[in-house]
Structure 1
């Protein structure tokens, strides 16, 4: 059986998005049907950058957006605004999962409402580890069952190692053994898809991160540069606080630990791995 699920992984800035897109292009050129889910998209299994809302919470958010439209420049219709929001939702188990960063708002002022739904993510310790685990296991199992019924090949960017190790290491400081157990349980939910990993391993962690930092500078002074946002996240995690990580050096240290754990996981997980060395 061919690999119906390809998991593209690596530390931040290693080139996961570019690699995932190239794999998609290659498979399409071979006549395959391919669906790529990049980080932050409305996702069938991952929860990163997706808010987990009750119907009431979602309806309140939608109402506030439509109310804001009344005093906006009205560059689009109210119906179009509602459509742009609704195409970023999935309804599952009496909840609405909203890919809030992907909403194509017509004006920047709408983003003032996004903080409310961002706070409803299940990542970064906003839910208990038990809830975080149960929601993901349920979603991965459901995805595996549905994906088995079609002839698509699915590509997930950073949805397996990165987004889960960030939580398990950064928030809960779990051991390698605990992380391996967690990832094994997750992997078992999609075993029917014969998953494989494409891992991009940097030769020099600091060089890779700084290259990404140069490419991801903020467009204006109203936002922080990517590297500064990452540094802020790292320093405020339990792991970062307890290891006194700060600034760019803190990012380097955290990503080196991430790389060590990643390599330990792919050595011990029962899954085919293709390594790509990035200089």
Structure 2
């Protein structure tokens, strides 16, 4: 196997999960060790999911508010330089710990994806560095869904309205960090974003749709660009997809661009293995 990391990217509904699952299944059939990390995985080795970043004072304030055994909290704490990272997603599901809605809201507000762009970038890159150092020694392929482009782009654009130059710089620094893993990037580019979301909103819950609309229209980018409602969501993801393609063109890693991914799944799956007639996922 000539790569240790496969990155599957694209906006919501473009087929990231199906593509990542297909690649994992293909590698299993070839008896190639691999591990698939989907969006939302609380044990993701390179990304953070439902994790708060607190200062020492903020951490001890939260700890003092808990009504349970303080020692049990340490199972969900990661000390990172001067920061205290609290895995509140795992903490919430631990029945031994009594965590109130008030504390949970405080932790959610301090989520790593709510940090300033500079702080967020620093914390995220630190975890990617740790992942890359470990992964290069392992005999397996890691398959990541949406944490290389979609997550940072959505956060930096929607939440902070960060400059495109800074976002590009962040992603190119991630590319450098993982270079020894000989990564492969697969980007799924929908033919028509509005048609895609018209389909996706029928497949997913109304709660999901309302959350996404609120996130991308009522934060800094949406307010600055006067985005509203469903049409604002479409406009945001059109802008994000354009930036994704811009970044994609600048990256030096091996990459595959799959246009209109929903048109012919079988043909697109084959491209993840043999784009342009040349093996991409090779078996030694």
**TM-score in same-fold range (> 0.5):** yes
CA distance in 1 between counterparts of 2:194 and 2:87 reads: 30
Alignment of 1:189-268 (within 5 A): 189-217=177-205, 225-268=207-250
Q: State the match for 2:50 in structure 1.
A: 49
Q: State the match for 2:30 in structure 1.
A: 30
Distance of aligned partners of 1:94 and 1:256 in 2 relative to their CA distance in 1, 3 Å threshold: same
Offset at 1:262?
0.7
Q: TM-score, normalised by structure 2?
A: 0.77
Offset at 1:191?
0.6
Offset at 1:50?
2.3
Distance of aligned partners of 1:120 and 1:174 in 2 relative to their CA distance in 1, 3 Å threshold: closer
Check conservation: 1:42, 1:90, Cα contact below 8 A. no
Distance of aligned partners of 1:28 and 1:63 in 2 relative to their CA distance in 1, 3 Å threshold: farther
Gaps of 5+ in 1: 68-77, 219-224
Q: State the match for 2:262 in structure 1.
A: 278
Offset at 1:27?
1.1
Distance of aligned partners of 1:171 and 1:152 in 2 relative to their CA distance in 1, 3 Å threshold: same
Check conservation: 2:10, 2:16, Cα contact below 8 A. yes
Check conservation: 2:201, 2:209, Cα contact below 8 A. yes
Offset at 1:172?
3.6
CA distance in 2 between counterparts of 1:191 and 1:3 reads: 10
Check conservation: 2:159, 2:216, Cα contact below 8 A. no
- Across the two proteins, how many residue pairs are aligned to each other? 255
CA distance in 2 between counterparts of 1:55 and 1:47 reads: 19
Q: Match for 1:163 among 143, 151, 154?
A: 151
CA distance in 1 between counterparts of 2:67 and 2:36 reads: 31
Offset at 1:275?
2.5
Offset at 1:91?
5.3
Q: State the match for 1:118 in structure 2.
A: 108
Structure 1 SS opposite 2:8: strand
CA RMSD of aligned residues (A): 2.9
CA distance in 2 between counterparts of 1:30 and 1:61 reads: 48
Structure 2 SS opposite 1:265: helix
Structure 1 SS opposite 2:113: coil
Distance of aligned partners of 1:177 and 1:190 in 2 relative to their CA distance in 1, 3 Å threshold: same
Q: Match for 1:129 among 101, 117, 120?
A: 117
1:150 aligns with 2:152: no
Check conservation: 2:50, 2:111, Cα contact below 8 A. yes
Check conservation: 2:117, 2:162, Cα contact below 8 A. no
CA distance in 1 between counterparts of 2:144 and 2:64 reads: 32
Structure 2 SS opposite 1:200: strand
Check conservation: 1:10, 1:201, Cα contact below 8 A. yes
Distance of aligned partners of 1:179 and 1:17 in 2 relative to their CA distance in 1, 3 Å threshold: same
Gaps of 5+ in 2: 264-284
CA distance in 2 between counterparts of 1:56 and 1:174 reads: 28
Q: TM-score, normalised by structure 1?
A: 0.79
